[in-house]
Amino acid sequence: MSEIDAVARVREICLALPEAAEKSFGGHTSPAFRVRDKMFATISEDRTAMTFKAAAGVQEALVGDDPERFYVPPYVGSKGWVGARLDVDQDWDEIAELLVDSYRLIAPKRLAALADVPRPAP
């Protein structure tokens, strides 16, 4: 899958969540996904990676189990964010679950309770 297709899949997953919006941050032009103006996922400027918020222990588990797909991102890694490479084969069901979990960590409780993991059409 190309990086462009991967970005489109991330966008589709994120924007399906309640009140999610796409809005770049700072002087960047890459997509960032927010709920009530709080970021829950970002895509790198070169479109080869994304970062998302994760619960305690998830970062260590993902990076430890599969360092080819996941990494500790600079700047936000110390705050529990995880990097996922978009230029390698990914398990998109797993990525969808991780993005929804990130959303739930950032969103207000009422919205978080409405978030479902998107399922591909049969």
Is residue 91 a part of any domain in this protein? yes
* Amino acid (one-letter) located at 10: V
Is residue 121 a part of any domain in this protein? no
Q: What is the CATH number of the domain that holds 31?
A: 3.90.1150.30
DSSP secondary structure letter of residue 79: G
Is residue 118 a part of any domain in this protein? no
Is residue 47 a part of any domain in this protein? yes
Is residue 119 a part of any domain in this protein? no
Provide the pLDDT confidence category of residue 111 given band limits of 50, 70 and 90: confident
Domain range for 73: 3-112
pLDDT digits (tens, 9 = 90+) for 64-102: 999 999 999 999 999 999 999 999 999 999 999 999 999
pLDDT digits (tens, 9 = 90+) for 11-42: 999 999 999 999 987 777 899 999 999 999 99
Is residue 117 a part of any domain in this protein? no
Q: What is the pTM of this model?
A: 0.90
Domains held by the chain: number? 1
- Per residue, what are the HEC states of 7-56? HHHHHHHHHCCCCEEECCCCCCCCCEEEECCEEEEEECCCCCEEEEECCC
